[in-house]
Amino acid sequence: MPFSLRKLKIREQLLVLTLPPLFVLLTSVGLFFYAYWLATRSSRTIVRTEESVAHGETLLRNVTEMDAATRGYLLLKRPSLLRAYATAARSASRELAILLGLAQGNTYESQQVAAVQSAVNQMEADWANPALIEAEQGQLPDLAETLKAGNARVAALRAQLLDLLAQNRAASSDAVIQTDRVMSRALLLGVGMAILFGAALLLLTRLVTSTIGLPVRQLIDASERVGRGDFQPPLPPPVENEFGVLSKSFANMTAALRREREELSALKRFTEAVTQCTSENEVYDHVLHSLQQRFQPQQVIIFKLKPEEDFLEAVATLVPLPAELRDWPVMEGRYSCKAVRMGRPFRVNDVTEEPLCPGRFALPTAGSYYCGPLIAGGIIIGAIRLQGAKGMWTPERESLLESYLSAASTALSNLRLLQTMREQANIDSLTGLYNRRFLEEYARKLMAMARRKESPLGFIMMDLDHFKSFNDIYGHEIGDHILRQFAKTVTQTMRETNLTARFGGEEFVVLLPDTGAKACVLVAERIRKAVTHMAVPSGTEKPLPQITVSLGIAVYPDHGTELEEVLQASDKALYESKRAGRNRTSVYVEDAEATG
């Protein structure tokens, strides 16, 4: 398997990368100490040789003094020369001892010093001491022979000493030269090692840049691309080190961010879709479709809360309900649903082990389910149940599902609020009938349909007789009771396809699609008779007098092609009923009167 630096852990990479410069550094330190050792050794050699030369010169002077003192005493017989001889002899002996000590470790030099010492001892024993003793005792030897013998011995000794001094000076010079060479080599090696160390550092920098800096730059670039919205940036290749772990963690993070973004986009699309719905059924369809795509449930049931009847009705399902529940898909009692009762989600991750909801409406026999309330403005308007596999409901899924339920709740609440506002805008608050605004808008639509179908559209305009007198005598509260009871009576008298509206004050209009004048007369008479039997409590001991109504009929398109024309015609017919004595029905006839 080929070796790759990138596959090593960062600690191992740094170790591998620092070994070359560390080796160079250690080698440089070793060479430095070696050069220092050589220099110290050469310095000691130089000092020793210089000391040897100095002591050798002193020894030469001592030997010369011994020779001069001996010759002088032989010639002059002065005692002071004996003392000078003794001093020089002692000094020579001391210098020889020092030279022998300095020559230790050098066999050749030790032999030479020993030879000099032997020559000095022989000179003293064979020539100087006997000659001085004889001269001191008055036994004068042959002076010429004695001096001649002394010259030969001293000359030989001096030759040995000079040779020793020459060798020591040569050794000192060689030591200096050797030291210079060592220092030059150490300097060259130091410069070489410095160059090698610099090259190793440069190589280390490049390797660090390529092995550590490159993945770091790639991760930085990836993070910047993620910040710009690109959740699939190129990452460092997978390796078994810290960068590989970091790259894997970064990939997991970007994948999670990508999923979260996709979920948010899907949730946004769902919110926009349900916000644009115009009916609750359309919202239910979007909810079923979106929950199926996102959560892949086995079943989805949407319950609608009907507070006035105290039950939850299943208004939409992903899978059809069992046959026995289709005719009456109702969960009796709103609080039988645990999610509605608690006002928060209720989940069961395993229906075979955990307690189920007390409202056992079509509960699954296996797997799990989640039931969340639909809450809008703090008011519970329904619930949604999702069924799935065992252990399906993780905290992340629950959080996302709650967002979907919140959006659906808001959309349903807005639709109901819009419907309420529409009703309030189109409904007369006193009678509960449609108002004039809605009447005119709806009448124009019916006229357009009648025009396409070439069918009639009947208008009945009604006005309560003597209503102002009721208000004046019994008060406006009784008048309001009369109007409400009248509206209820008219509504109960007609078919659901007909529309009754309060036109203004005590005037009312009835629209009758596909109804001609004769049929309108029958409806009007039925209303008129029902009103005569209408009873409204007066609030006093004296009952109210009989209430009657006058009615006028006009038909589109016989009595006009525009709404204003037909309404004016029905108003004229109503006036005719009033003029003829009230409590009657009249059909509009142009320039004539007709009573039916």
pLDDT at 593: 46
Residues 520, 45: Cα–Cα separation, whole Å: 147
pLDDT tens track, the chain, 596 positions:
454 555 556 666 666 666 666 776 777 777 677 767 766 776 777 777 777 778 878 877 888 887 787 778 777 778 887 788 788 888 888 887 887 787 787 777 788 778 877 878 887 777 777 877 777 776 665 767 777 777 777 777 777 777 777 777 777 677 777 777 777 776 777 777 778 777 766 776 676 666 666 677 777 777 777 777 776 777 766 666 666 677 677 777 777 777 777 788 888 888 888 888 888 889 889 899 999 998 899 999 999 887 677 888 888 999 998 888 888 888 887 788 888 888 889 899 998 988 888 888 888 989 999 999 998 778 888 899 999 998 888 888 888 888 988 888 888 888 777 777 776 678 888 888 999 999 999 999 999 999 999 999 999 999 999 988 888 888 888 889 999 999 999 998 888 778 999 998 899 999 999 999 999 999 999 999 999 988 887 666 667 888 999 999 999 999 999 999 999 999 999 999 999 999 999 999 876 444 44
Containing H/E element for 548?
none
Structure letter (DSSP) for residue 315 = E
Distance between CA atoms of residues 531 and 510, nearest Å: 15
For residue 325, give the nearest of 311, 313, 309 by alpha carbon. 313
Q: Is 37 left (phi over 0), alpha (psi -120 to 50) or beta?
A: alpha
What is the assigned CATH class of domain 427-587?
Answer: alpha beta
Residue pair 439/432 in contact (Cβ under 8 Å)? The answer is no
Do residues 552 and 572 make contact, with C-beta atoms less than 8 angstroms apart? yes
Q: CA end-to-end span of the chain, whole Å?
A: 112
Among 3.10.129.10, 3.30.450.40, 3.20.20.70, 3.40.630.10, what is the CATH number of 277-424?
A: 3.30.450.40
Q: Does domain 5-204 have CATH number 1.10.1840.10?
A: no
**Structural tokens at position 86:** 């003794």
Fill in the amino acid letter for 531: V
Instruction: Supply the DSSP string of 432-462, one letter for each residue.
Output: -SB-HHHHHHHHHHHHHHHHHHT--EEEEEE
What tens digit of pLDDT does each residue of 3-55 get? 455 555 666 666 666 666 677 677 777 767 776 776 677 677 777 777 777 88
- Secondary structure letter of residue 137 according to DSSP: T
Strand-pair partners of 510: 460, 500
Give the pairing of strands 457-464 and 549-556: antiparallel
List the structure tokens of 264. 């948010």
Of the candidates 282, 322, 289, 291, the one whose C-alpha atom is nearest the C-alpha of residue 387 is 291
pTM of the model: 0.52
pLDDT at 579: 93
Q: Where do the domains of the chain lie?
A: 5-204, 277-424, 427-587
